[in-house]
């Protein structure tokens, strides 16, 4: 049964660095069925209207990860994003290159920043040369061990997470969601012998810049859930090393803070994280806020049933070892 077509206006980002004075958006309006993938439409534009349109793609089946781009501001695979809902919601389809990577031409970006961060985490098993894997024999892993990294191998390195990440956008010191999710995969691999070293090295190298905004998990077409793996890394880093960074000190400080009375004591937390010297640097801002919000200096009340909270802490902090 034929499906009715809709009129789909595409506004496509066009830019040739070094040749064009500035990026522009070019309008193409196509009659297509609502279930047409954006990639199919782009290939039709290139084949039938403008052969100069630059884009990257390969498999057209959400396997290769080549066609990630921004579609109406969302970092997505063009091959699995249908035009119907986009036109319905936005009246048009704005197609732009991924963010956080320099544009080479139109929708094609230079992915080297993304791959550089990936290389930095040393994404390979580090084995102990004194205990090589038995020749010709598979190493065995329990289902529970495999379960810990069942999501991360699904990654197709499309960089949609890297494009969506506000920490990457604001700070080159952040390795990005994909590199950290990959790091997690090696940290929990029972064959890897560099777990402690990996955790110690990532702490001062961007781990604590993750905002836990979950935009990466939202962007990921393969449900790798990088933000949740980064959370896991943070807890493992604290267990391995304690509070060596501002980020880990803040997390530990917050946890300890609630033991005081069950509600957050803001001033005490700032002191625990930044120390007295760090606090001194924030005096000006503190006074500005205090003049409007004097409660920041006040000790909060102690909640009723605080003894229950204390007992929960006693039972679960540090967390008891899980049954293997």
Q: Which residues bind another protein (CB under 8 A)?
A: 73-74, 89, 166-167, 169-171, 173, 208-209, 211-215, 217-218, 225, 227-228, 231, 234-235, 238, 245-248, 250-252, 254-255, 258, 262-264, 266, 270, 273-274, 285, 288-289, 292-293, 295-296, 298, 300-301, 303-305, 308-309, 311-313, 315-320, 322
Helices 226-241 and 195-202: crossing angle in degrees, nearest 10, is 100
Q: Nearest to residue 25, comparing CAs of 92, 101, 83?
A: 92
Burial class (CB within 10 angstroms; exposed 0-12, middle 13-18, buried 19+) of 279: middle
Minimum CB distance to another protein, residue 88 (Å) = 10
What is the nearest approach in angstroms of another protein to the Cβ of residue 314? 8
Q: Which is nearer to another protein, 122 or 218 (CB)?
A: 218
d(CA 68, CA 87): 19
What is the distance between the alpha carbons of residues 324 and 313, in angstroms, rounded to a whole number? 23
| Closest separation in Å from C-beta 225 to another protein | 7
C-alpha to C-alpha distance for 322 and 147, rounded to whole angstroms: 14
Tokens of 165: 């990440």
Indicate the residue among 135 and 295 with the shorter CB distance to another protein.
Answer: 295
The SS3 of residue 298 is coil
Instruction: Report the greatest alpha carbon distance in the chain.
Output: 72
Tokens of 230: 């980064």
Any alpha helices (H) in 10-111, and if so which ranges?
38-48, 83-90
- Least distance between another protein and beta carbon 319 (Å): 5
Min dist. Cβ of residue 161 to another protein (A):
13
Q: How far is the CB of 40 from another protein (least distance, A)?
A: 21
- Residue 296's φ and ψ, nearest 5 degrees, are -60, -20
Q: How far is the CB of 137 from another protein (least distance, A)?
A: 31
Residue 194 or 211: the one with the smaller Cβ distance to another protein is 211
Q: Which is nearer to another protein, 44 or 90 (CB)?
A: 90
Cα angle for residues 184, 187, 193 (degrees, 5° grid)? 160
Q: Which is nearer to another protein, 3 or 73 (CB)?
A: 73
Sorted by sequence, the CB contacts under 8 Å of residue 271 that are 6+ apart come out as 279
Residue 270 main-chain phi, psi, to 5 deg:
-60, -40
Nearer to another protein, 135 or 307 (CB): 307
Q: Which is nearer to another protein, 80 or 245 (CB)?
A: 245
């Amino acid at each position: 049964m034929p499906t009715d077509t809709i009129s789909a206006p595409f506004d496509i980002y066009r830019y040739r660095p070094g040749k064009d004075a500035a990026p522009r958006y070019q309008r193409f309006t196509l009659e297509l069925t609502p279930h047409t993938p954006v990639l199919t439409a782009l290939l039709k534009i290139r084949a039938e209207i403008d052969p100069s349109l630059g884009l990257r793609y390969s498999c057209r089946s959400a396997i290769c990860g080549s066609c990630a781009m921004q579609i109406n501001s969302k970092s997505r695979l063009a091959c699995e994003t249908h035009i119907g809902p986009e036109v319905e919601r936005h009246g048009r389809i704005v197609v732009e290159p991924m963010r956080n990577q320099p544009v080479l031409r139109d929708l094609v970006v230079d992915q080297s920043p993304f791959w550089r961060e990936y290389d930095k985490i040393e994404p390979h098993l580090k084995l102990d040369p004194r205990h090589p894997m038995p020749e010709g024999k598979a190493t065995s892993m329990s289902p529970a061990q495999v379960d810990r990294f069942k999501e991360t191998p699904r990654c197709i390195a499309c960089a949609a997470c890297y494009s969506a990440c506000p920490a990457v956008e604001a700070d080159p010191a952040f390795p990005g969601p994909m590199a950290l999710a990959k790091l997690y995969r090696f940290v929990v691999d029972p064959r890897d012998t560099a777990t402690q070293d990996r955790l110690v090295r990532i702490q001062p190298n961007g781990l604590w810049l993750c905002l836990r905004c979950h935009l990466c998990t939202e962007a990921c077409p393969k449900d790798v859930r990088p933000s949740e793996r980064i959370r896991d890394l943070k807890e493992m880093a604290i267990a391995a090393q304690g509070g060596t960074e501002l980020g880990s000190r803040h997390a530990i400080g917050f946890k300890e803070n609630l033991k005081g009375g069950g509600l957050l004591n803001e001033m005490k937390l700032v002191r625990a994280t930044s120390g007295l010297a760090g606090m001194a640097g924030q005096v000006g801002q503190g006074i500005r806020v205090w003049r409007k919000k004097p409660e920041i200096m006040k000790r909060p009340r102690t909640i009723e049933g605080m003894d229950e909270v204390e007992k929960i802490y006693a039972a679960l902090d540090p967390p008891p070892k899980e049954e293997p």
